[in-house]
Chain A
Amino acid sequence: MTPHVILRVVSKLLIPLIAMFAFYVQFHGDYGPGGGFQAGVILAAAVILYALIFGLDEAKKAIPPSWVRIGMTLGVLLYGGTGVVTWLLGSEFLSYGVLTPDHPSHGQHYGILAVELGVLLAVASVMLAIFYAFGSRQPELSDEDW
Chain B
Amino acid sequence: MGMLEFFPEWLQYHGAALAVVLPLLMGAICAILPSERLAWITTLIVVSICTVTAFGLLLVTFGGESVIYKMGGWDPPKGISYVIDGLNTPVIFLISAMALLTTLYGLPSVVAEVEPKKRAPFYGAFLIGVAGLLGMVVTGDAFNVFVFLEVSSISTYVLVAMGASRDRRALAAAYRYLILGSIGATFFVIGLGFLYMETGTLNMADIGRKLQELEGGSRVAMVAFGFITVGLGLKLAMFPLHMWLPGAYAHAPSFVTVFLASTATKAALYLMLRFSFTVFDVSFDYVLTVVTYLFTGLGCAAMVLGSLQAIFQTDARRTLAYSSVAQVGYMLLGVGMATSLGLTAGYVHLLNHAVIKGALFFALGAFWYRYGITRTEDFAGLGKMMPWTMGAFTLGGLSLIGVPLTAGFISKLQLAEAALQRGWGWAVFVIMATSILAIIYIGRLILTAYFQAPPEIDGEVVKRNEAPLMMLIPMWILVALSITIGVNSDFVVQAGQMAAEVLGGIS
Which residues of A does B touch, CB under 8 Å? 69-70, 72-73, 76-77, 80, 83-84, 87, 91-97
B70 adjacent to A72 (CB under 8 Å)? no
Apart from A77-B28, A92-B17, A93-B72, what 8 extra A-B contacts exist at CB < 8 Å?
A69-B31, A72-B32, A77-B29, A84-B25, A92-B14, A92-B69, A92-B72, A94-B72
A125–B25 Cα gap in the complex (Å)? Answer: 16
Residues B64-113 near A (CB distance < 8 A): 69-73
A80-B24, A87-B14 given; A92·B29 CB < 8 A: no
Give the distance to chain B from A7, nearest Cβ to Cβ, in Å. Answer: 35
A77-B25, A80-B24 given; A92·B71 CB < 8 A: yes
**Max chain B CB contacts within 10 Å: which of A92, A94, A95?**
A92
Give the distance to chain A from B468, nearest Cβ to Cβ, in Å. Answer: 32
A76–B21 Cα gap in the complex (Å)? Answer: 11
A83–B25 Cα gap in the complex (Å)? Answer: 11
A92–B76 Cα gap in the complex (Å)? Answer: 13
A-B CB contact pairs (8 Å), 20 listed: A69-B31, A69-B32, A70-B32, A72-B31, A77-B25, A80-B24, A80-B28, A84-B25, A91-B73, A92-B17, A92-B70, A92-B72, A92-B73, A93-B14, A93-B17, A93-B71, A94-B71, A95-B72, A96-B72, A97-B73
B28 adjacent to A95 (CB under 8 Å)? no
Q: Please indicate the chain B residues that have their CB under 8 angstroms from the CB of A69 in the complex.
A: 31-32
Q: Please indicate the chain B residues that have their CB under 8 angstroms from the CB of A96 in the complex.
A: 72
Give the distance to chain A from B316, nearest Cβ to Cβ, in Å. Answer: 35
Chain A facing B: main interface SS: helix
B72 adjacent to A80 (CB under 8 Å)? no
Q: Please indicate the chain A residues that have their CB under 8 angstroms from the CB of B25 in the complex.
A: 76-77, 80, 84
The closest CB in chain B to the CB of A87 belongs to: B14
Q: Please indicate the chain B residues that have their CB under 8 angstroms from the CB of A97 in the complex.
A: 73
Give the distance to chain B from A78, nearest Cβ to Cβ, in Å. Answer: 10
B14 adjacent to A73 (CB under 8 Å)? no
A22–B373 Cα gap in the complex (Å)? Answer: 54
A93 adjacent to B32 (CB under 8 Å)? no
Q: Please indicate the chain A residues that have their CB under 8 angstroms from the CB of B32 in the complex.
A: 69-70, 72-73
Q: Please indicate the chain A residues that have their CB under 8 angstroms from the CB of B21 in the complex.
A: 80, 83-84, 93
Q: Please indicate the chain B residues that have their CB under 8 angstroms from the CB of A83 in the complex.
A: 21
B28 adjacent to A76 (CB under 8 Å)? yes
Q: Please indicate the chain A residues that have their CB under 8 angstroms from the CB of B29 in the complex.
A: 73, 77
Give the distance to chain A from B301, nearest Cβ to Cβ, in Å. Answer: 41
Residues B26-81 near A (CB distance < 8 A): 28-29, 31-32, 69-73
Q: Please indicate the chain A residues that have their CB under 8 angstroms from the CB of B72 in the complex.
A: 92-96
The closest CB in chain B to the CB of A94 belongs to: B72
> A-B pairs with the 6 shortest C-beta distances?
A95-B73, A76-B28, A94-B72, A80-B25, A93-B17, A92-B73
Give the distance to chain A from B192, nearest Cβ to Cβ, in Å. Answer: 20
Q: Please indicate the chain A residues that have their CB under 8 angstroms from the CB of B14 in the complex.
A: 87, 92-93
A72 adjacent to B28 (CB under 8 Å)? yes
- Mark B385-396 against chain A: 1 for CB-CB distance below 8 A, else 0: 000000000000
Q: Please indicate the chain A residues that have their CB under 8 angstroms from the CB of B73 in the complex.
A: 91-92, 94-95, 97
A76–B28 Cα gap in the complex (Å)? Answer: 7
Give the distance to chain B from A61, nearest Cβ to Cβ, in Å. Answer: 21
Give the distance to chain B from A106, nearest Cβ to Cβ, in Å. Answer: 15
Q: Please indicate the chain A residues that have their CB under 8 angstroms from the CB of B31 in the complex.
A: 69, 72-73
A96–B31 Cα gap in the complex (Å)? Answer: 28
Q: Please indicate the chain B residues that have their CB under 8 angstroms from the CB of A87 in the complex.
A: 14
A73 adjacent to B28 (CB under 8 Å)? yes
A68–B17 Cα gap in the complex (Å)? Answer: 28
Q: Please indicate the chain A residues that have their CB under 8 angstroms from the CB of B17 in the complex.
A: 92-93
A79–B21 Cα gap in the complex (Å)? Answer: 11
A83–B73 Cα gap in the complex (Å)? Answer: 11
The closest CB in chain A to the CB of B30 belongs to: A73
A77–B17 Cα gap in the complex (Å)? Answer: 16
Give the distance to chain B from A118, nearest Cβ to Cβ, in Å. Answer: 11
Give the distance to chain A from B43, nearest Cβ to Cβ, in Å. Answer: 15
Give the distance to chain A from B46, nearest Cβ to Cβ, in Å. Answer: 13
A97–B28 Cα gap in the complex (Å)? Answer: 26
Give the distance to chain A from B130, nearest Cβ to Cβ, in Å. Answer: 15
Q: Please indicate the chain B residues that have their CB under 8 angstroms from the CB of A76 in the complex.
A: 24-25, 28
Give the distance to chain B from A103, nearest Cβ to Cβ, in Å. Answer: 15
Give the distance to chain B from A95, nearest Cβ to Cβ, in Å. Answer: 3
A70–B25 Cα gap in the complex (Å)? Answer: 13
The closest CB in chain B to the CB of A81 belongs to: B25
The closest CB in chain A to the CB of B28 belongs to: A76
Q: Please indicate the chain A residues that have their CB under 8 angstroms from the CB of B28 in the complex.
A: 72-73, 76-77, 80
A19–B236 Cα gap in the complex (Å)? Answer: 44
Give the distance to chain B from A75, nearest Cβ to Cβ, in Å. Answer: 8
Q: Please indicate the chain B residues that have their CB under 8 angstroms from the CB of A94 in the complex.
A: 71-73
Give the distance to chain A from B73, nearest Cβ to Cβ, in Å. Answer: 3
Give the distance to chain A from B143, nearest Cβ to Cβ, in Å. Answer: 16
A91–B73 Cα gap in the complex (Å)? Answer: 8
- Mark B313-353 against chain A: 1 for CB-CB distance below 8 A, else 0: 00000000000000000000000000000000000000000
Q: Please indicate the chain B residues that have their CB under 8 angstroms from the CB of A72 in the complex.
A: 28, 31-32
